[in-house]
Chain A
Amino acid sequence: MSWEPGIVVFCCNASCCAGESHASGVSFPSPPTVRIVRVPCASLVSEYMIMSALRSGADGILVVGGAAGDCQSARGQEGDRRRFVLLGNLLEFIGIEPGRVHIAWESAWTGEQVMGLVQDLIEKVKALGPARRLVKQLEPLQGEE
């Protein structure tokens, strides 16, 4: 069985509704290993959620938010942008492969654009292989493995 990377996409209602409806339509990889987490505003995506996704074994993570001055909650991205840039850099610093966590801002997203990002991420992650770092594993029980 060939390995399909598990991707978690956090995207805000306004910018990415289009993306999602598109997703449920045609061009999604099968089996559907892409999970879309819709949030009212990308600034609600916390560093905990990103780290939780990594910890639970997501192979790739994408956060999609609206660009400055173009946010449906007026100033939503102001709260997240700097934080995410720093988090992304920090993750690379401690040795998470560049490309696993991808954060994107754009003014009006179209469905195609979001799908394009997802596809790009899938390609990148396929090249990197399954996530191993910061993925929580239970201690094997005696007699297992």
Chain B
Amino acid sequence: MATINDKITDAIRAQARKLLETGEVAALIGYAAGSLPMTVKPLVVRRPEECDRLVWNTFCVLNLATYLPEVLSSVEIPRDLRDPKPEEPQAKVAILATGCWSRNIVVQIQEKRVARERVVVVGVGSRGMVSRAKVKALFPGQEILTVEEGDHDLVVQGLDFTETINRWSVVRDNCQTCAHPDPVLVDIRIGEPVSERKNPHPYKQVELIEQRSVDERWAWFTAEFATCIRCYACRNVCPLCYCPTCFVDDAKPQWLGKSLDAVDTGLFHILRAHHCAGRCTDCGACESVCPMGINMRMLTKKLNKDVLELFGIEAGMEPEAPLQLTMYPSASPEFIVTDLAPVPVPSRKPFESAGIPSAEGDTSCKP
């Protein structure tokens, strides 16, 4: 029997073919099957006959928005730097988007990285993506050769074992606490909408760290980042990190050293996270790609929590909204004077201002 994701795959292929055949878009960003179990490859299709390579499954852990600006410029008519901007509208690009990816596209629109009118968002409600690391951790010392995906189970097969595991139990942490699995920006919808989820403790992991003493927190931080090899996969995979020269590459002044020194590695992570403050959508791509299994997402998650609690903002919910971190609404003195820990004015209700419905959300996609 075809699973939900098989149906979505078929719908994506049909939709992609239609978009490319009618010439509405010049390219579509999606996924192809990977060469190993539980992997997928990002794929840009430009011709209708390539569309059958597209797949949708529960292992799509990257954030396709990362590729959007580049693919957009690849379909433009080449022109010299000094040539005037073309009058006629430029070719469009379609992109698959779940909740968090669509929010990253919104951030890209807000930051003028991409033009809204050139993007066709093909929205897919996310049922949560599975963490390859979590599945591997269940079978220590054994190689996983195939993983069959059902709607609620995964059948994991190795050389001498076959086991069925519950899908939700190995869904990534960020997906488990996600409140907006359904795309916030949709031009074409694939499959059924997924309802908002209401998680009573979305920031549980952050809170657990916050409750520790300052020395314990420092011990956690140093241990967590001790094995970072500075490969910058976490930075490069993030749709928010697009600086032509990242601060780690600055030479004069050089803000931090480049070797594996624990201080320099720590500073890299603090500053990278800080650059994503108010923009990060907790898509989890950074955590998913780390070859060393480092949970650098805790830092951005902490910032997300503060941004929500102090300023009442969730990133990427509205393309028209101004960038919240660059403004200080002086008329409303959120925090009036002098100290590090600001005092939010109690009458503000952050949840209302962020446009989050306060009604109980549906949790039906949890088995």
| Interface residues, chain A, with chain B CB atoms under 8 Å away | 47-48, 51-52, 55, 67-69, 75, 77-79, 81-83, 85-98, 101-106, 133-137, 139
Contact = CB atoms under 8 A, between A and B. Distances in A.
Contacts, number: 121
Nearest to B333: A68
A135 B310 contact: no
B359 to A, nearest CB: 29
Interface string B321-342: 0001111101001011111111
B299 interface: yes
A95 B261 contact: no
B338 A94 contact: no
Given A51-B255, A67-B337, A104-B339, A93 B327 contact: no
Interface string B280-316: 0000000000000000000100110011001100000
B267 A105 contact: no
* Most chain B beta-carbon contacts within 10 A, residue among A82, A103, A136: A82
Contacts of A77: 328
A95 B271 contact: no
B189 to A, nearest CB: 35
B303 A90 contact: yes
Contacts of A69: 330
Contact of A51 (B206, B271, B327): B271
A14 to B, nearest CB: 16
Interface of B: 206, 209-210, 214-222, 247, 253, 255-257, 261, 263-264, 266-267, 270-271, 273-274, 277-278, 299, 302-303, 306-307, 310-311, 324-328, 330, 333, 335-342
A41 to B, nearest CB: 13
Contacts of B299: 90, 93-94
A105 B324 CA distance: 20
A103 B257 CA distance: 26
Nearest to A47: B274
B263 A87 contact: no
17 contacts: A47-B271, A51-B271, A68-B328, A68-B330, A79-B326, A85-B335, A85-B342, A89-B306, A90-B274, A90-B299, A90-B302, A93-B209, A95-B216, A95-B221, A98-B340, A102-B340, A133-B218
A97 B326 CA distance: 27
Contacts of A86: 274, 277-278, 303, 306-307, 310
Contact of B263 (A79, A89, A137): A137
Contacts of B255: 48, 51-52
Contacts of A136: 257, 261, 263-264
A55 B253 CA distance: 13
Given A81-B328, A85-B310, A95-B217, 14 more contacts: A48-B255, A55-B267, A69-B330, A82-B311, A82-B327, A86-B274, A86-B310, A90-B299, A94-B221, A98-B340, A102-B340, A106-B338, A134-B266, A136-B263
